[in-house]
Every structure is written in structure tokens, then in C-alpha cells.
Amino acid sequence: MNKDIQELSELHWQQDLLGSIEVGIVVLEKDFSVAVWNQFMENHSSVRPSQIIGKNLFSLFPEIDETWFKRKCDPVFNMGSPAFIIWEQRPYVFKFGTSRPITSASDYMYQNVTIFPLASITGETQRICVLVYDVTDQAMAKQSIEGLNARLQEVSRIDGLTGLYNRRYWQERFEREYKMAMRNDPDVCAIMLDIDHFKKVNDTHGHHAGDLVIKRLAKLITLATRETDICGRYGGEEFAIILPDTTEKTAKIMAERLRKLVSLDAVPYEDIKIKYTISIGIAQFTSDYREAVLWLEDADKALYEAKEGGRNRVVLAHEGSLE
Ligand SMILES: Nc1nc2c(ncn2[C@@H]2O[C@H](COP(=O)(O)OP(=O)(O)OP(=O)(O)O)[C@@H](O)[C@H]2O)c(=O)[nH]1
């Protein structure tokens, strides 16, 4: 084989290699004109090498942030050090559609991009090579795992019957509120409330009817509180609420409103309507509480007083019944 044919054949398989590789290969001159544009880039951009070779990259891809991209390439040209752009920083450099539009949940191709210097014989970097990797599958998998984790975390905080926070998470929030209150000494109240004679509801109408009453009460609690209030199911038929930015006077008004709402309510069950009432204990935070639990205990004592005082009433800690 003569030398020319040998060179040509080598060039041919090198072209073949560039063409079949599932990675985008772009070679850029110092002025950001394109010197190499492989098959992958052509397939995904629909721009043929003949349309782009010798042309300025940004003139054909105005979506690339020129200032940012040049800043990335600067150390590659000037110091010969490679640069990396990962999809988590910027989902893509070239806005390509996904190559699997049916199976992929993404509208565009997520890309990892590597930029490295192509040194001349003298060691000078005249050109740089930009490699574009399609990482859509990894990105989608990671995002779906993150979504699942977030969902799992949310589910693990929620009480299945009522949709309010469960005891564990409510307690966590309560501890957090307590620590914040110790620092800032704001107006914040804790409420404990409990359905009156709930055992009788269960005994008379059955456990399922009891569950419906618990669910209904949770709904009324949600209705009567602000979005910023932190409502949780503390035990079977016991609920706990944190009212941020609330004095005991305002908490009392809110609690009274809820108590009345409940006393007027009736839960439809089979062909009857179940009436029920609640008792409520309130404790406003003071920095005298050396531990979070002491604050909650005061709310619980107030609740106990409300029960002792005849039920269907609101009691403030360190104060008599309101009714
Ligand atoms: N249906 C239902 N009942 C529950 C649930 N959790 C606890 N209970 C019941 O709630 C009742 C609570 O009864 P007690 O603690 O004696 O209090 P009470 O009958 O409400 O009386 P007072 O609180 O003193 O007014 C018990 O019968 C428990 O079995 C639940 O998730 N669903």
C-alpha cells in the first residue's frame, strides 16, 4: 500500500470512529470558530459540518451564554487546564432535544461537558476540544430518586388517618420552635386538645365511627388555624398545635372558635349524626421553661383542668377556665 493510500485509509477509520462515537466532539479555534463537528453533534442539532465549520459557534447557537462559555474556556486556552460543566450546575450547553422522546420524561438532553486543550507541536494551545456527553438517563434517575426521597420524607411526617403531622414530627417541630423561642422570646403558644368521652363514641358506634370523628376534627382544626400554625395528631384522639406569633389572648380566641365549631358539628355515620366536643389547654411560651417538655406539660395540665372543669371548654395555663 503506498503512503498516500495508507494515510487516507487511516483518516477514513478515524472519521468513522468520530462518526460512530456516542459523544459530541467539537473542536474550537481561539476565535471560537468551529474546526470539527462530529456526527453526534450533527444528529442532535441538525447542523451539518458543512454549515458550521469555519463559522463562529455562537452565531449558530445563540442559546449558549457567550460570556459564561468564554470564561469557562479561558483557562483551557491560557493555562492548558481542562474545564468541566456538569448537568447539576447547568443542565445543558447545547439545547438538544432528548434522543428518547417516548421513554424519557425530559424535554431536553442533559449534558456533562468536558473542555480540554489541544496542544500544537510547540506546546501552545491553539484549539480546544469540547466533549458533550448525553447524561439524560442519569439525570432523570437522580431526579426521580430525589423526588421519591422527598415524597418519602413527607409521608414519614404525616399521620395516615388525619393528614396532619404525626407525633414524632410534630415533636421535632415543637423542639425547634422552643429553641427559637429561647433565643428570640416571641409570642408563641402551645395547644393540647382532646375529644371528650371519646371512648363512648367508640363503644357506642364502633371504632370506624370513632375514626371518622377523629378525621373530621382534624379537618376542623385545619380550618380554624392559620397556614403557619403547626398542627399534629399527638395521640389517638389527642391533638397538639403550635401557634407562632400568637399571644395567649389570641390563642384563646382561636381555641374558642374551634371549640364552638366542634360543638356545633355532627359527623354523619350510617343513618345517624355523631355529636362530639373537645377540651383545650393552652400555654404561652415564657423563657422560664428550662426545657421544651415543661412548656408542653403546662398545656397538658391546662387540658386536664378543662376536663376536670366539665369538658367542652378552653383553659389557659396558670389561669382558670374561661367558661
Ligand atoms: N376510633 C379510634 N379510637 C381511638 C384511636 N386512638 C385512641 N382511640 C380510643 O380513644 C379512647 C380514649 O379514651 P380515654 O383516654 O379514656 O378518654 P375519653 O373517653 O376521650 O375521655 P376524656 O378524654 O376523659 O374525655 C380509647 O377508647 C381509645 O381506644 C383511634 O385512632 N381511633
State the closest ligand 1 atom to the C-alpha of 235, by its place in the atom list counted from 1. 6
Chain-centroid distance of CA 155 in Å reads 13
Grid coordinates of 52:
458550521
- ipTM strictly over 0.85? yes
State the closest ligand 1 atom to the C-alpha of 211, by its place in the atom list counted from 1. 1
Q: What is the largest CA-CA distance in the chain?
A: 109
| Residue 177 CA: distances (Å) to CA of 244, 287, 295 | 8, 12, 11
- Delimit the CATH 3.30.70.270 region(s) of the chain: 157-316
pLDDT(128) > 60: yes
More confident residue, 248 or 98: 248
Q: Which of 164, 201, 202 to mutate to test the pocket of ligand 1 (most atoms within 8 A of CB)?
A: 202
Of the candidates 244, 262, 261, the one whose C-alpha atom is nearest the C-alpha of residue 191 is: 244
172 classed as catalytic: no
Give me the catalytic one of 237, 238, 248, 305: 237
State the closest ligand 1 atom to the C-alpha of 214, by its place in the atom list counted from 1. 32
| Predicted pLDDT at 321 | 44
Grid coordinates of 45:
442539532
Q: Please report which confidence band the pLDDT of residue 323 belongs to, taking 50, 70 and 90 as the band edges.
A: very low
Contacts of 304 (CB under 8 A, 6+ apart): 281
Residue type present at position 82? P
* 195-254 pLDDT per residue, tens: 999 999 999 999 999 999 999 999 999 999 999 999 999 999 999 999 999 999 999 999
Answer yes or no: is the C-beta of 198 below 6 A from any ligand 1 atom: yes
* Average pLDDT score over residue span 49-67: 95
Of the candidates 167, 71, 160, the one whose C-alpha atom is nearest the C-alpha of residue 115 is: 71
The alpha-helical segments, DSSP class H, found in the chain are: 3-20, 39-45, 49-52, 57-60, 66-79, 136-157, 167-184, 198-205, 207-224, 248-264, 292-308
| Predicted pLDDT at 11 | 67
CATH architecture classification, 157-316 = 2-Layer Sandwich (3.30)
pLDDT(129) > 70: yes
The mean of the pLDDT values for the chain is: 92
Q: Which of 167, 196, 237, 276 to mutate to test the pocket of ligand 1 (most atoms within 8 A of CB)?
A: 237
- Delimit the CATH 3.30.450.20 region(s) of the chain: 1-151
Class of domain 1-151: alpha beta
